[in-house]
Structure 1
């Protein structure tokens, strides 16, 4: 396996053009209503009404996993109470009911990302499995020695390790796009320079789970296609937060995890263009994915079942369908508008202090901030904040190469969703000041 391209910041390059929606005024958000309810609908999340260490819970870790609304919890409970059965295999009423719910959820997901065909939505247990499916199935047929795969330094490990495996098996070359000169996103000049006739695949995140930047995926996809390469889009941090249209983007594959978008754990999905999926061999063998089985060989089922062996995560898939329905009821544009504003407020409050270093761009960013405080270890900070009821993440956030490029072993990260409030941001800041003081540090107002 060969590696080409550096991990660090490259000077003299322009910042990437971002594709997130424009900002709007904060006042609009609080006056927007959906069927008479506030757009943020905080009351739908029972877990948020508890106390941690005697303090009201402030949950700022939604980039790792989101909380679940009551409608999703009820859907899971109702399935196991009234429809629990294996899908596709039985002629009895419970099996038919479970199958209708399971396949109905697939239709909901298809509509949610605007796939052309329902068969283009493949259930997986998470985004990691979805990427591995592409790497093993598509990669086994289309990647050979000397072929090139372009990734970025900011990729989640789930969008890095499977391609390392593929390169080890095939002798392909991995190329990496470094950060731009400001460290706010990928260096698009280097990206274009890495593209060649040997490029077979580009795989990148839509939104970074550390930098919070929204990568210019339209430009990336168009440039890759001009070279005849396919594109995998890791949309784990975009699909839950903004409208994502796979036909408009023209990506070849897209992956997402249900647990980050108000759905259950243990369920995710792969979108793939139908003609590409039809040419790919099965990822795993077993029941459900076959047409006919003989002693010496088998024939395979049609899409999407060719890639879904064995008894699937039925309740979880149905729960993901309920989550999609819930998000649609609020409206993804309203969610994105609100998160843009509360994310700006979080960045503004953290930026008040000289000792705080926030990673990523100053504007047009997701509602998360990965940061360092001078003299304070992120893990110590997380523990102290938990004592105040504030949940944040500390570590490398499954982006060790990115943190190496940033010159850090890890960072603290506060990540928001539409159920968080501006008051919670203020509570977080006050808890942060107390935690830093206890840990022997300081926060000086600029």
Structure 2
């Protein structure tokens, strides 16, 4: 067993777990002051629920053993892995303990679910959100993780790479889709679900451009900083080894978001006259999203170009909700769905060796488009059905009067900012 790589994976897992509290601060600062507890609790709720479900059966769905003969199957459960029963020991000759990989991938499930919550800020019931999160993770995230990653555990303790989106498409087109750290499985997946929920819950009271102002930009900057820090584990850690590929992913995780931050601010300055702190934070996150699938398949120069595109495109994309009339509260669609699509498709042209400019073939672009569209449609449709069913039964949205007053006290019995310790 390689203790160095084992330590690398465990540290990367801890970094990715930190991303979810970072997301809580990022989202929490963007909402109004009377909704900050509700917003942050949806992220922490995802940490609790996904941590349990992943151990019980999530890993068994996402990473069925390769010796089961179903590596490329779109939906399969390996019953031997319920409760992680089949991965508690390290096979002789394995590079690292299977449980290290289990822990790393658990943090991906947590952050993906938490990302969705930003679309329904200020108006969602916590209990309904938790029910949605559990069902959506079970029927959408866990299977899609298998489509993209599917590091099935072989008898010798090694992991065999590839679900149908990777190895399956490779059998047809000669190249598989590239998604090194989750552009499809995480960002397109969460962004499509966020769009579905925004449509199910409808618009906030008084929804219009300029009606909602982030109550705490320092929280937003803190959250973005924690996200960026954790993202090094997200991207470099996906190599599962401390090697040159991980180093490339690490450098690109600096370059792309840095460029995106700058391009977002330039667009803001041109469009609105002033660069903002929230714009800087959002630009960095947009760049992080876009580089996620591409971090190990681009040279740093092309990573900068991707970041510049992501910052500008996502800065413009967040305006779509006003033109199209859907209330994606915290721009999950504009940043994660659009950024994920951009980073995934960009690889079809600029990926090292297989992209169009290197190979002269459109095959990489074709498989990238198939992967992105498949995840988008699958996630959107099922998220809409699940959200609609919850809304029509127990109710997903709070009452209008509770929304106007601020839902922290109604849903959680707490206030984000108590200015006096004397209760009236």
> Per the shorter chain, which TM-score range?
under 0.3
Richer in strand (by share): 1
* TM-score, length basis structure 2: 0.26
